[in-house]
Chains A and B, each alone.
Chain A
Amino acid sequence: MKDLLNDLNKAFENKVRLGIMAALVVNEYLDFNSLKELLGVTDGNLASHLKSLEKSEFVSVRKEFLNRKPNTKYAATEEGRIAFSKHIKAIENLLK
Chain B
Amino acid sequence: MKEQEYINDLKEIKDIMNRSSRFLSLSGLSGISAGICALIGAYFAYDILFNIGYDRNFIGEKKINALVLIGVLTLVTAIVSALYFTLNEAKKNNQKLWDLQAKRLLINLFIPLATGGILTLSLVEKGFIGLAAPLTLIFYGLALVNASKYTNSELRGLGIFEIILGLLASQFIGYGLWFWIVGFGFLHIAYGCYMYFNTKK
- Chain A interface residues toward B at CB < 8 A: 15, 18-19, 22-23, 25-27, 30, 34, 38-39, 88, 91-92, 94-95
Contact = CB atoms under 8 A, between A and B. Distances in A.
A59 B100 CA distance: 20
Contacts of B21: 23, 26-27
Given A22-B17, A26-B17, A38-B20, A91 B6 contact: yes
A94 B16 contact: no
B55 interface: no
A14 to B, nearest CB: 11
Contacts of A27: 20-21, 100
26 contacts: A15-B9, A18-B13, A19-B12, A19-B16, A22-B12, A22-B13, A22-B16, A22-B17, A22-B20, A23-B16, A23-B21, A25-B17, A26-B17, A26-B20, A26-B21, A27-B20, A27-B21, A27-B100, A34-B100, A38-B16, A38-B20, A88-B13, A94-B3, A94-B6, A95-B3, A95-B6
Majority SS of interface residues in chain B? helix
Contacts of A23: 16-17, 20-21
Size category, B interface: 10 to 19
Nearest to B19: A38
Contacts of A39: 16
Contacts of A94: 3, 6
B1 interface: no
A18 B10 CA distance: 10
Given A22-B20, A26-B20, A95-B6, 19 more contacts: A15-B9, A15-B12, A18-B9, A18-B13, A19-B12, A19-B13, A22-B13, A22-B16, A26-B17, A27-B21, A27-B100, A30-B20, A34-B20, A38-B20, A88-B10, A88-B13, A91-B9, A94-B3, A95-B3
A24 to B, nearest CB: 8
B7 interface: yes
A27 to B, nearest CB: 6
A84 to B, nearest CB: 9
A92 B17 contact: no
Interface string B1-41: 00100110110110011011100000000000000000000
Nearest to B21: A26
A19 B99 CA distance: 19
A80 B3 CA distance: 25
A95 B6 CA distance: 8
A15 B16 CA distance: 12
Given A19-B13, A22-B13, A95 B20 contact: no
Contacts of B100: 27, 30, 34
A86 to B, nearest CB: 14
B10 to A, nearest CB: 6
Interface in B91-111: 99-100
